[in-house]
């Protein structure tokens, strides 16, 4: 008997009587809630920077926020990369020199400041983690209330790889002291744009 | 390993015990603050418990569904009945790819299976990339907490450890400085690694993918650089549908650390172009636990660690006292299923206060299960003789009024006359840190009879 058969047979013999599946309750929300304001508060709470702008010149805003960065890898068509040639990257390891990565997110979640970013949006799966700093652009109309709303918007079977990112990489593994920039991005800036 | 014997060593250093107690309680307080922001918290807990209950009632069907969808996604599936089978499978995959260095993010399952030492025995270097895990790996210790593996270590000790292994400045114990040093050290390992190993937080049957959460980004950094990703999951990690993630992700980080969500919540459905993705589905006693009506709800556990943070015994005895990969209340109801004799003392390492069950996001009746394990362990004859003897003695005297009166009289006299050092010997050290209550001159029975006579 294979391990697979052994496991499945034991489960079949040991499982309890079938319990019917449940419907996740719909939780009541105040209609007056300002989603952008809630989202902003959470982005800041989780250690991120928050910018809301009507400007079309996002590159300038980024340069103001990160005056010292030398290499920028941009996955956004309207924003140019700097000091790095995206089309020349053949191995993800070469991205180790990227100071700042710029990408779009699909939507944000007001209750926790998380932004859903898919493989397509991040160019390389490792980019949002390996870059020293991360900027995510988000359409200000794309904020959902909570994680239930989030999964209503995602068709998971169509996403090869996707991640919610909420703030910069962090750890509190040494005596509970919160330190930003553990293994991934040291800083995290969310720019809410107008489409 | 006996919990009370190990705990006795831990409590020798009183200031350290107080420090540990406070550090762990602090996380419980953060959890409470995060929970207060979610008005529907209790409804979420109910939903989570119901989803888990339904899932384990059809666990075989969901596992088969997960397998077939995952295969369609290009994920290679393996099955392992126990830890040894798991370790062999992982080694075979690594061996086939001629892996010399593997980076691993936190996975309690691989701790349970003893994967690191197995692979090292086969000549493969494994580097734990979660900061806390790296600390204990360098210190050659086991994790003492499932979410904060190095919670028992002071920054001075980590400073010394990093000075010896990573060449940091002696005496510099600043957590920012030490974290920065670890970042550079680990970045080199990430760039050099040939494979990445991760755990699995949730596996979705309906879509054949899985979710891994971290705060550091270490899981994603590893798997997205290397050409080989092996994810190990216990059979109980299955959830039926993506929408269920909405419930569990709202509960998990808030319960674990008081964060509204972890920094990274990554969903893996297909391997990266040019890389391989393997999932090892591990049983290791879980299907046996499923067959025990009183204990199957322990399979709901999502490994948040909230029950440890709130437990008065865990906080004051430390995670290592439990001698099992998962310590604290949840470890004390999981471990007897693995080996009731070896872990016989763990269900007794509790005051049965029930705080664990109150904070559990998936509503496991931890305290009730602790109580039930005590009975099974005693019936099997694994309970300490001192405990079984005193219960037998109690039973004997309480059911014989004459004997009860005699023993009561002797005890009153003894408690009055004997020095504390001797009562310690006689009374199983109950009086070691406690004084005996004031002894009444006579028994209730004597008092009552006298009162009746006066009437």
Q: Is B299 domain-assigned?
A: no
What's the pLDDT score for residue B393?
Answer: 84
Phi, psi of B117 (to 5 degrees): -70, -35
Distance CA B436, CA B434 (A): 7
pLDDT tens digits for range A60-115: 999 999 999 999 999 999 999 999 999 999 999 999 999 999 999 999 999 999 99
pLDDT tens digits for range A38-61: 999 999 999 999 999 999 899 999
Cβ neighbours of residue A159 closer than 8 Å, sequence gap 6 or more:
A118, A119, B267, B269
Q: Is B414 domain-assigned?
A: yes
Contacts of B180 in chain A (CB under 8 A): 181
Residue B426 has pLDDT above 80, yes or no: no
Claim to verify: residue B249 and residue B174 sit in the same structural domain:
yes
ipTM over 0.85: yes
Residue A189 has pLDDT above 90, yes or no: yes
Residue B433 has pLDDT above 80, yes or no: no
Nearest to B183 among A3, A148, A182 (CB): A182
**Mean pLDDT score across all residues of chain B:** 94
Residue span of the structural domain in which B330 resides: 1-33+304-383
Give percent above pLDDT 90 in chain B. 85
What's the pLDDT score for residue B455?
Answer: 73
What's the pLDDT score for residue B150?
Answer: 97
Q: Is B397 domain-assigned?
A: yes
CATH number of the domain within which B222 lies: 3.40.50.10420
CA distance A119 to chain B (A): 9
Domain boundary among B342, B368, B383: B383
Q: Choose the mutation target among B146, B247, B263 for the interface with A, i.e. most A CBs under 10 Å.
A: B263
What's the pLDDT score for residue B14?
Answer: 95
Question: Mind spelling out the 3-state secondary structure of chain B?
Answer: CCHHHHHHHHCCCHHHHHHHHHHHHHHHHHHHHHHHCCCCHHHHHHHHHHHHHHHHHCHHHHHHHHHHHHHHCCCEEEEECCHHHHHHHHHHHHHHCCCCEEEECCCHHHHHHCHHHHHHHCCCEEEECCHHHHHHHHCCCCCCCCCCCCCCCCHHHHHHHHHHHHCCCCCCCCHHHHHHHHHHHHHHHHHHCCEEEECCCEEECCCCEEEEEECCCHHHHHHHHCCEEEEEEEHHHEECCCHHHHHHHHHHHHHHCCCCCCCEEEEECCCCCCCEEEEEEECCCHHHHHCCCCCHHHHHCCCCCHHHHHCHHHHHHCHHHHCCCCCHHHHHHHHHHHCCCCCCCHHHCCCCCCHHHHHCCCCCCHHHHHHHHHHHHHHCCCCCHHHHHHHHHHHHHHCCHHHHHHHHHHHHHHHHHCCHHHHHHHCCCCCCCCCCCCCCCCCHHHHHHHHHHHC
Q: What is the token pair recorded at A7?
A: 């496991």
Q: Choose the mutation target among B48, B66, B224, B268 for the interface with A, i.e. most A CBs under 10 Å.
A: B224
Claim to verify: residue B44 and residue B183 sit in the same structural domain:
yes
Q: Do the chains contact at A183 and B23, CB–CB below 8 Å? A: no
What's the pLDDT score for residue B422?
Answer: 66
Contacts of A7 in chain B (CB under 8 A): 63, 79, 81, 235, 281, 283, 287
Claim to verify: residue B65 and residue B176 sit in the same structural domain:
yes
Contacts of B58 in chain A (CB under 8 A): 15, 18
Claim to verify: residue B109 and residue B148 sit in the same structural domain:
yes
The average pLDDT across B116-132 equals 98
Q: Is B293 domain-assigned?
A: no
Q: Are B104 and B127 a contacting pair, CB within 8 Å?
A: yes
Claim to verify: residue B335 and residue B224 sit in the same structural domain:
no
Which residue(s) pair with A116 in the sheet? A107, A164
pTM recorded for the entire structure: 0.94
Distance CA B104, CA B118 (A): 14
Q: Is B295 domain-assigned?
A: no
Q: Chains A and B: how many Cβ contacts under 8 Å?
A: 250
Q: Do the chains contact at A19 and B54, CB–CB below 8 Å? A: yes
Claim to verify: residue B87 and residue B210 sit in the same structural domain:
yes
CA distance B190 to chain A (A): 9
CA distance A152 to chain B (A): 7
Least reliable range by pLDDT among B44-53, B65-74, B271-280, B388-397? B388-397
Q: Is 3.90.1150.10 the CATH number for A33-193?
A: no
Claim to verify: residue B243 and residue B374 sit in the same structural domain:
no
User: Could you tell me the pLDDT band of residue B318, with boundaries at 50, 70 and 90?
Assistant: very high
Phi, psi of A119 (to 5 degrees): -50, -45
User: Could you tell me the pLDDT band of residue B448, with boundaries at 50, 70 and 90?
Assistant: very high
Residue in chain B lying closest to A150 (CA): B246
Cα separation values, A136 from A17, B380, B412, Å:
47, 59, 74
Distance CA B358, CA A186 (A): 36
Q: Is B290 domain-assigned?
A: no
Claim to verify: residue B157 and residue B242 sit in the same structural domain:
yes
Q: Does B166 touch chain A (CB under 8 A)?
A: no
pLDDT tens digits for range B161-197: 999 999 999 999 999 999 999 999 999 999 999 999 9
Residue B143 has pLDDT above 90, yes or no: yes
Q: Is B349 domain-assigned?
A: yes
Claim to verify: residue B248 and residue B338 sit in the same structural domain:
no
Residue in chain B lying closest to A14 (CA): B291
pLDDT tens digits for range A167-186: 999 999 999 999 999 999 99
pLDDT tens digits for range B434-445: 777 777 878 888
Nearest to B246 among A46, A150, A157 (CB): A150
Give the H/E segment covering residue A37: helix A35-45
Q: How many domains does chain B have?
A: 3
Domain boundary among B331, B353, B383: B383
Residue B337 has pLDDT above 90, yes or no: yes
pLDDT tens digits for range B211-247: 999 999 999 999 999 999 999 999 999 999 999 999 9
What residue segments make up the domains of chain A, in order of their start?
33-193
Claim to verify: residue B120 and residue B179 sit in the same structural domain:
yes
Q: Do the chains contact at A166 and B176, CB–CB below 8 Å? A: no
Q: Do the chains contact at B261 and A109, CB–CB below 8 Å? A: yes
Contacts of A6 in chain B (CB under 8 A): 81, 283
Claim to verify: residue B130 and residue B230 sit in the same structural domain:
yes
Q: Do the chains contact at B283 and A7, CB–CB below 8 Å? A: yes
Claim to verify: residue B433 and residue B390 sit in the same structural domain:
yes
Contacts of B50 in chain A (CB under 8 A): 19, 22
């Amino acid at each position: 008997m294979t391990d697979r058969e052994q496991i499945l047979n034991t489960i079949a013999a040991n499982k309890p009587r079938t319990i019917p599946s449940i419907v996740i309750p719909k939780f009541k929300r105040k209609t007056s809630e300002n989603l952008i304001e809630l989202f902003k508060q959470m982005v800041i709470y989780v250690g991120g920077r928050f910018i809301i702008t009507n400007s079309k010149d996002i590159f300038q805003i980024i340069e103001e926020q990160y005056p010292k960065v030398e290499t920028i890898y941009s996955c956004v068509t309207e924003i140019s990369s700097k000091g790095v040639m995206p089309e020349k990257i053949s191995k993800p390891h070469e991205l180790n020199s990227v100071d700042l990565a710029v990408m779009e997110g699909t939507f944000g979640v007001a209750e926790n400041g998380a932004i859903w970013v898919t493989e397509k949006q991040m160019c390389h799966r490792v980019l949002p983690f390996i870059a020293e700093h991360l900027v995510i652009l988000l359409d200000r109309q794309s904020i959902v209330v909570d994680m239930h709303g989030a999964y209503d918007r995602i068709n998971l079977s169509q996403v090869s790889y996707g991640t919610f990112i909420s703030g910069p990489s962090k750890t509190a593994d040494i005596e509970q002291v919160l330190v930003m920039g553990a293994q991934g991005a040291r800083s995290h800036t969310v720019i809410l744009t107008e489409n | 390993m006996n919990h009370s014997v190990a705990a006795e060593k831990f409590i020798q250093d009183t200031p350290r015990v107080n420090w540990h107690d406070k550090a762990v309680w602090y996380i419980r307080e953060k959890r409470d603050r995060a929970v207060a922001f979610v008005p529907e918290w209790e409804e979420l807990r109910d939903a989570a418990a119901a989803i888990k209950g339904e899932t384990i009632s059809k666990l075989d069907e969901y596992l088969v569904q997960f397998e077939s969808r995952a295969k369609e996604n290009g994920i290679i599936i393996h099955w392992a009945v126990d830890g040894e089978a798991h370790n062999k499978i992982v080694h075979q995959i690594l061996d086939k790819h001629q892996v010399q260095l593997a980076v691993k993010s936190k996975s309690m399952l691989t701790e349970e299976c003893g994967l690191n030492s197995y692979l090292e025995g086969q000549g493969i270097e494994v580097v734990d990339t979660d900061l806390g895990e790296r600390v204990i790996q360098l210190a050659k210790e086991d994790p003492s907490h499932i979410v904060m593996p190095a919670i028992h270590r002071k920054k001075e000790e980590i400073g010394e450890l990093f000075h010896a292994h990573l060449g940091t400045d002696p005496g510099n114990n600043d957590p920012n400085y030490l974290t920065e040093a670890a970042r550079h050290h680990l970045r080199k390992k990430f760039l050099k690694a040939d494979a990445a190993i991760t755990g699995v937080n949730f596996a979705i049957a309906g879509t054949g993918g899985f979710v891994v959460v971290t705060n550091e980004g270490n899981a994603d950094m590893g798997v997205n650089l290397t050409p080989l990703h092996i994810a190990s999951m216990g059979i109980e990690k299955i959830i039926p549908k993506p929408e269920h993630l909405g419930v569990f992700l709202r509960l998990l980080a808030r319960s674990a650390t008081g964060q509204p969500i972890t920094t990274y919540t990554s969903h893996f459905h297909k391997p990266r172009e040019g890389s391989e993705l393997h999932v090892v589905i591990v049983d290791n006693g879980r299907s046996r636990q499923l067959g025990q009506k009183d204990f199957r709800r322990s399979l709901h556990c999502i490994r948040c660690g909230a029950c440890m943070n709130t437990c008065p015994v865990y906080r004051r005895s430390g995670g290592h006292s439990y001698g099992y990969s998962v310590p604290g209340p949840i470890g004390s109801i999981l471990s007897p299923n693995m080996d009731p004799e070896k872990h016989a003392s763990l269900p007794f390492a509790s005051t049965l206060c029930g705080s664990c069950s109150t904070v559990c996001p998936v509503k496991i009746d931890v305290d009730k299960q602790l109580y039930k394990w005590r009975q099974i362990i005693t019936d099997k004859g694994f309970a300490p003789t001192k405990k079984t003897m005193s219960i037998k003695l109690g039973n004997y005297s309480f059911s014989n009024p004459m004997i009860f009166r005699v023993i009561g009289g002797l005890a009153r006299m003894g408690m009055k006359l004997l020095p504390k050092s001797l009562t310690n010997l006689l009374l199983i050290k109950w009086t070691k840190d406690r004084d005996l209550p004031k002894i009444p001159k006579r028994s209730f029975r004597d008092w009552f009879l006298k009162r009746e006579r006066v009437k």
